[in-house]
Amino acid sequence: MIQKLATLLIISCISISIQAQDRKKSGFTKEEFRARQEAYLMQKAEITQEEAAKFFPVYFELQDRKKAVNDKAWEQARKGKDPKTSDAEYEQIIEGIVKARIEADKLDLEYLQRFKKILSPKKIYKLQRAEIRFHRDILKIMHQSHKK
């Protein structure tokens, strides 16, 4: 559960960061990021070209839907930065964030059923592991580029 939440947070942060930065600062656009992600996941999960042609449109559809959910949660979280925020408002904020996590998990379950129609369980498992490694590697790259 914690690993799922960490992955969700990482994906959200990376997506927001990439979209918030211009091409010169981040080094790549959303499309370039997705192309790198697709190539990485294909290699690590041993996904064939035929499988990739079917799988990645569904995969990126899920990512877009989860991003929309996470954007709402981030919007609520930003309201908490106001020093005049009341306890009742903080309660709404934290409940909204938890509900967003639950909604994202429900999307994962929904799309898992669709993924099973395209990839074997072993490849889905490898894909999930590769996603974590990919996002960890991207965070390292982003961290190193900000140090320069």
7 vs 60: which has the higher pLDDT? 60
Domains of the chain, by residue range, sit at 2-22+48-147
| CB within 8 Å of 56: residues ≥ 6 apart | 38
85 vs 51: which has the higher pLDDT? 51
pLDDT computed for residue 59 by the predictor: 98
pLDDT band per the 50, 70, 90 thresholds, residue 62: very high
Mean per-residue pLDDT of the chain: 85
Distances (CA, A) of 8 to 48, 103, 105, 144, 147: 26, 11, 9, 22, 25
Residue with tokens 């490898």: 126
Report whether 93 contacts 79 (CB < 8 A): yes
pLDDT in tens, 90-142: 999 999 999 999 999 999 999 999 999 999 999 999 999 999 999 898 888 87
